[in-house]
Chains A and B, each alone.
Chain A
Amino acid sequence: MIEFEHVVKEYNGVSAVDDISLELPAGKICVFIGPSGCGKTTSLRLINRMIEPSSGTIRLDGTPVSKIRAEELRRGIGYVIQSVGLLPHMSVRENIGIVPRLLGWDKHKRDTRADELLELIGLSPGAYRDKLPHELSGGEAQRVGVARALAADPPVLLMDEPFGAVDPLGREVLQREFLSLNRELKKTVVFVTHDLDEAIRLGDRIVLMRSGKVVQDDIPERILGAPRNEFVREFVGADRALKRLSCFTVESHMHKAAFLDRALLQNGRPPEDMQVNGTGMLWIVDAGEVLVGMCRRSGGKWGDVREVRAEELGVTTVSSLRDALSRLLGRGLKAVPVLSDDHRLVGEVRLTDIEAVNQSDGYV
């Protein structure tokens, strides 16, 4: 756990961080966000003493960081920055092994650990361990940067716009990977960004800052759904209703779906006397419950069964409601199927479910 207690950082009488008190819970991703100059990066760098506060205390698991020697503190905290900062004259393996080397691990142990981490971040050790940083793409370099930060298995990770220099497509991939990585590793992550979508996608908590002060410190759906003041409302933008949908997974809002085994079709149609509730959608599956088609009932009659490709039509349980909405609108449907990883039908999400989300919590 990281605690800020009345932390102030002044430069020539101007406060970059102005009396911040926060508690960042262990094992969660906490995102600092705000316009440039709001003090988010300063706050992050105060944690590993890259910057010393003018007053106030920062505690790491109860111990004030000022009581720990700066180098020792930093070796126990992973650090990832936007420019990555891989040492250009060292191979990927040596780069990952820097902190272990500072900690005095022997070479064999460092190399084993580097390979292990390359595996973890999805780069084949055989192909990547001996590469030099300039031979890596932006996304690969950033993955190596994360691996390097994880090398000595620190409980805390500080990430300062780590994916900011990567193209939008690559950024989403990195975000998704990092999210699933941390679901496993359960590091306490402090993440700085100015990209609201990124904050919503990654954050368990969002700390919105302005002029060195915390404006709102909340879970993402409340930042979007219940902005504390005009600044927050403006910052999250007019499309906050849409953004807010990113906070919810399909899993928590899906319904049971009506489905029929393909073998039970009569002359290529569902039995006329078959009734369905809700949206009137009937999903056709094969013997393995894999989605293969769909059929709509209108005017009391079944239409033709249309063959569908499961992965094109369906969303997965971990997709956000925003993804689901996008599919619904794109297909002109009232519901989309929810599939497991192996394309088996597990439920459906309806347009009405999504409407209900935005009407709950008194959100308008």
Chain B
Amino acid sequence: MRLACEKTTALGAVIGIGALSLPFLLMKENRVALGIPYLYHTLPGGPHVLLPITLLVMSLAAAFLPQRPAVRATKIVLGQLYLAVMLLALSLSGAVLVAPEAFGRVSPSTGFWLAVLAAYILIQGSLKNAPVVYPVRMFIGAAPLILALGLFLGGGLDSWAVVMEFANRRDRFMSELATHLYISLTAVGLATLIGVPLGVLAWKQRHLEKPVFGGVNGLQTIPSLALFGLMIAPLAYLSRQFPLLRELGVRGIGNAPALIAVTLYALLPITRNAYAGLAAIETGVIDSGRGMGMTRVELMRYVEVPIALPIMLSGVRVSTVQAIGNTAVAALIGAGGLGAFVFQGLGQGAPDLIVMGVLPIIALSIFVDRGLAVLIAVLTPPGQKDVLND
């Protein structure tokens, strides 16, 4: 009899075992010191190395069984347990290691991240094509994050370098997060107010299509750093000339140029999708709408908006995710935001501070992206579902 092997699970298990032979965490005496690596089995705390090995061997064995629902479920549980063991080991060892040191801290290393990858493969590989409804699927995916969050809130991750950087800057973190959201969301708002009419204009007046898209495409090709730099001189000049503008906060550096630059970048996806949304309406549909006696407003209400809106909104979605990323760069010209931590970390040679700035930016992007995707799905009429691929 030939043994059938579920390759994804096998791969996950093998990576998991490999992860145990690599440096699992780094112990640092202070925030800029080079770390001392620890392998899993040399850790002073956490479950014995035989526990994760057993979990992985069981997963590997499960890969050779017929993939019945019960087997799939078992693999998911094994993957979750494996990840929990890793987090626990990191938390417990960290506490033991930093105890004697005044500025000591730990960072996860290659072995830990590889273990996370292995767990992801084990869990998602078994979830794929599984007859699981969406909320359950989301919960299974989010379970490790919930565990990590619980550990974090319970103080279990206090020895982590990233967490320490955060603890030292808790108040500033919140205000930078607020600034970050303010800049990126305001910019998207402004870009929508400008971009949608531009897209509509390009659609209505075919001769304006080229100049409009030439303009917004051109803006997109300027490197973001250069655009921020370009903004400094003219805004500084304006600010000096007009006291009113200065009072409003318009200066060569800071919020105003950041807002303008991020807005300009957000323009292309919004303008393009506003145009594409309208262009997706077949001419016959508009002709028959008019022919049936729709007024201008009725044509918008019954035809143009329902058909174009989902596509327009997906432009806003792309722009928002981009704007959150671009706002990080805006910290360079003193606009603040989470990027400030990244550049501070770069300047101080403190990688953990960089990570502390980057993680919430990523989380924010994913959160906003999914949120808008749900909103778009709700607003898309049933007949238009095939228009959007996502």
Contact = CB atoms under 8 A, between A and B. Distances in A.
Q: A70, A71, A91 — which one has the most chain B CB atoms within 10 A of its CB? A: A71
B302 A83 contact: no
A60 to B, nearest CB: 14
A291 B383 CA distance: 51
Contacts of A98: 289, 292, 302
A74 B303 contact: no
Interface in B107-124: none
Interface residues of A, number: 30
A300 B349 CA distance: 120
B386 A74 contact: no
Contact of A102 (B282, B288, B298, B382): B298
Interface string B213-241: 00000000000000000000000000000
Contact of A87 (B283, B287, B289, B386): B289
Contact of B384 (A89, A99, A148): A89
A73 interface: yes
Given A89-B307, A132-B382, A134-B383, A50 B291 contact: yes
B291 to A, nearest CB: 4
Contact of A88 (B287, B292, B298, B383): B383
B295 A88 contact: no
Contacts of B282: 83, 85, 88
Contacts of B145: none
A102 B383 CA distance: 21
Given A88-B383, A89-B306, A74 B288 contact: no
A81 B291 contact: yes
A83 B289 CA distance: 12
Nearest to B290: A50
Contacts of B149: none
A85 B294 contact: no
B285 interface: yes
B211 interface: no
Contact of B290 (A74, A82, A87, A133): A74
Contacts, number: 81
B292 A102 contact: yes
Given A88-B307, A89-B307, A134-B386, A99 B284 contact: no
B349 to A, nearest CB: 56
A84 interface: yes
Nearest to A130: B382
A75 interface: yes
B187 to A, nearest CB: 31
A307 interface: no
Nearest to A84: B284
Nearest to B282: A83
A193 to B, nearest CB: 17
B293 A72 contact: yes
Interface string B298-309: 100011001100
Nearest to B281: A88
Contact of B294 (A71, A73, A82, A148): A71
A87 B303 contact: yes
A74 B284 contact: no
Contacts of A148: 292
A120 interface: no
Contacts of B66: none
Contact of A82 (B284, B303, B382): B284
Contacts of B292: 74-75, 79, 98-99, 102, 148
B360 interface: no
A148 B295 CA distance: 18
B293 A88 contact: no
Contacts of B289: 85, 87, 98
Given A83-B283, A89-B384, 17 more contacts: A48-B291, A50-B291, A76-B293, A81-B291, A85-B282, A85-B284, A85-B285, A85-B286, A86-B288, A87-B302, A87-B303, A88-B285, A91-B383, A99-B292, A99-B293, A132-B383, A158-B291
7 contacts: A50-B290, A76-B293, A82-B284, A85-B284, A85-B289, A85-B291, A134-B383
Interface of B: 282-295, 298, 302-303, 306-307, 381-384, 386
Q: Can you list the 7 inter-chain pairs with the closest CB atoms, starting with the nearest?
A: A85-B288, A83-B284, A74-B293, A75-B293, A89-B381, A79-B291, A85-B284
